[in-house]
Amino acid sequence: MNRRGMALILVLVMSALIGMSAMLLFSTTNMETMISGNVRRINQAKMSSMSGLNHFTALRFDYDALREQAGDLQTLQILSETRLSDRTFYEVKVHFCCGLNEGEYIVESIGYYKKSDKILASKITRALFSSGQTN
């Protein structure tokens, strides 16, 4: 039986397996880091959206005043893009449509996470308001 070079082959095979394991570990770690970054950006957009809804609620708009301001429009932009930080923003719109009862309207707050002018994540939060109170 010829055993010459068997140790060399065994070392090369083991080195290849260890190298592939290291590459797989790096790839998995890199993917997990990217996923957690996406989750963080989505959560930032969600919190921005909730801030917009809270801002609208704090303004205590009256249904009749909103309806008058909207005129014949079904959608009225109440708060244009409002900055929370260097990367988080929100905007708030009011909708008077979709078979709602008299005195009801939907407030839509859109939160954004941006880098420069590129939107990396956005989240929409909607709430039904009736006669100045949330349902």
> pLDDT tens for residues 21-59?
999 999 999 999 999 999 999 999 999 999 999 999 999
Look up the pTM and report it: 0.77
CATH 3.10.450 fits 40-134, yes or no: yes
Check: CB of residue 46 under 8 Å from CB of residue 125: yes
Please give the backbone phi and psi of residue 3, each rounded to the nearest 5 degrees, phi first.
-105, 10
Strand partners of residue 122: 112
**pLDDT tens, residue by residue, 96-129:** 887 778 888 999 999 999 998 899 999 999 999 9
Strand partners of residue 112: 89, 122
Which strand (E) or helix (H) includes residue 75? strand 75-83
Check: CB of residue 111 under 8 Å from CB of residue 45: yes
- Whose tokens are 């719109």? That residue is 93
pLDDT higher than threshold 80 for residue 1: no
